[in-house]
Homo-oligomer: A and B are copies of this chain.
Amino acid sequence: MISVILIGAGNVASHLYRAFLNAESVVVKQWYNRSFEAIKSYKNDTEVINDLSQLKEADVYIMAVSDDAVASLSKTLPFTNRFVVHTSGSVSLHDLDKKNTRGVFYPLQSFSKEAEMDFSNVPICIETEEKTKLQMLKDLAEAIDSKPYKISTEQRQTLHLSAVFVNNFSNQMYRIAHEISDAKHINFDILKPLILETANKVQEMSPYMSQTGPAKRNDKKTLKRHIKLLENEEHRDIYELLTQSIQKTHGIKYKFNSKKKN
């Protein structure tokens, strides 16, 4: 049995709390949050506190707080030589105060407050200062059906950056498509299967292999017509830059001859 004390009450903390509650080999001994309001409804399932001095002993303290709060909050923990981890993709292990044994337990997924999170779809990147602690974090990930990956701080920061590309930037591609199609009164539902298929394809095949479309084919007529169709200058800039990026990836060179429309 791994005893956990959870610190923080944001999206990651809340999802981890619910997952730990369902895990047979994990017990959440306490849940701390600065504001009592966010966690008080859980007081029948676990001990909820808003005073750091009340923190008990546990196998691991999981600080699921905002990036900026990690360093300062870890300094104010009223104990030493215990095992403290944070859950951030971008904060260094060394930002945690060195009075405790440090680690990272970073779930790489997009968390929203509402939707229930199935942790079997959440890879967890783990890192520990002391090798002996690695197994505990692996067990903790596996207890909630996650797949643990041992990752260095540098790798984790690169993963976090990569996640911006596959998550935030892909989502912005969907957003622009939504804007463009809305303007012509087209039901966005028509595009949803293609969005899913595009994501599905790279589960089996590399993104390099799965690329298609006018940029990859260097279909100049279509590239020109698309640029003409785009009424928003920012959308045109994105179309050109990403077309060039695809062509560079696939060893093709096409030059858009007009930066400005009309």
Known: A172-B211, A246-B168. A198 touches B199 (CB 8 A): yes
A123–B226 CA distance with the chains assembled, in angstroms: 21
**Quick one: which of A162, A184, A207 has the most chain B CB within 10 A?**
A162
A163–B151 CA distance with the chains assembled, in angstroms: 35
Interface residues of A in 150-179 (CB under 8 A from B): 151, 154-155, 157-178
Secondary structure type dominating chain A contacts:
helix
Judge whether B195 and A155 touch: CB under 8 Å.
no
Judge whether A166 and B184 touch: CB under 8 Å.
no
Closest Cβ–Cβ distance, residue A107 to chain B (whole Å): 10
Per-residue B-contact encoding for A174-194, CB less than 8 Å = 1, 0 else: 111110110111111111111
**Quick one: which of A165, A191, A237 has the most chain B CB within 10 A?**
A165
Judge whether B149 and A213 touch: CB under 8 Å.
no
> Which one, A13-21, A55-63, A216-224, is touching chain B?
A216-224
Q: Which 4 A-B pairs have the closest CB atoms?
A: A199-B199, A168-B213, A162-B177, A175-B207
18 chain-A/chain-B pairs, Cβ below 8 angstroms: A67-B221, A109-B197, A110-B212, A112-B210, A158-B183, A158-B184, A161-B226, A161-B229, A164-B213, A164-B239, A165-B174, A166-B198, A168-B212, A168-B214, A170-B198, A172-B242, A175-B207, A199-B200
Q: Can you name 11 extra interface pairs (CB under 8 A) apart from A160-B222, A161-B226, A195-B202?
A: A110-B198, A121-B197, A155-B186, A158-B186, A162-B186, A164-B226, A169-B246, A170-B195, A171-B210, A188-B206, A238-B242
